[in-house]
Amino acid sequence: MTMWVVVLITGVATFAMRFLFIGLFGKIDVPPTLERALRYIAPAVLAALTLPAIVMPAGAFDLWNAFVPAAVVGALAAWKTGNIGAAIGTGLPALWLLQWLT
């Protein structure tokens, strides 16, 4: 039930953001301060989602767990190829290798 409410509210809000300026015929521009803030949303939120999951996978800070080097491999692959699939295709095997070795 909770999940449905979350999905529906997010869906309505996301559609509203998609339609807002299209609905206004493109006559109104995004306020400059909001436009500047929007530029940093993606890096800030994605890092806030990623870093805790990688450096504290079991809930406690642990820089020496296998997720860290595997994530570095995936990040390098994404940076070199510009492709999300490449990050998954290299990062996951790197993790399996590390887990097999240790």
Binding to another protein by residue 62, rule CB under 8 A? no
93 lines the binding site for another protein (CB under 8 A):
no
CA distance 88 to 78: 9
Selected binder of another protein within 32, 49, 101, 102 (CB under 8 A): 49
- DSSP letters along 53-85, please? HHH-TTSS--TTSTHHHHHHHHHHHHHHH--HH
Q: Tell me how many residues contact another protein (CB under 8 A).
A: 73
6 binds another protein (CB under 8 A): yes
Cβ atoms of 74 and 94 within 8 Å: the answer is yes
Pick one of 64, 82, 101, 102: the residue that binds another protein (CB under 8 A). Answer: 82
Determine whether 76 is exposed, middle or buried from the number of CB atoms within 10 Å of its CB (0-12, 13-18, 19+).
middle
- Residue from 32, 62, 96, 102 touching another protein (CB under 8 A): that is 96
**34 counts as binding another protein under rule CB under 8 A:** yes
Instruction: Tell me if 99 contacts another protein by CB under 8 A.
Output: yes
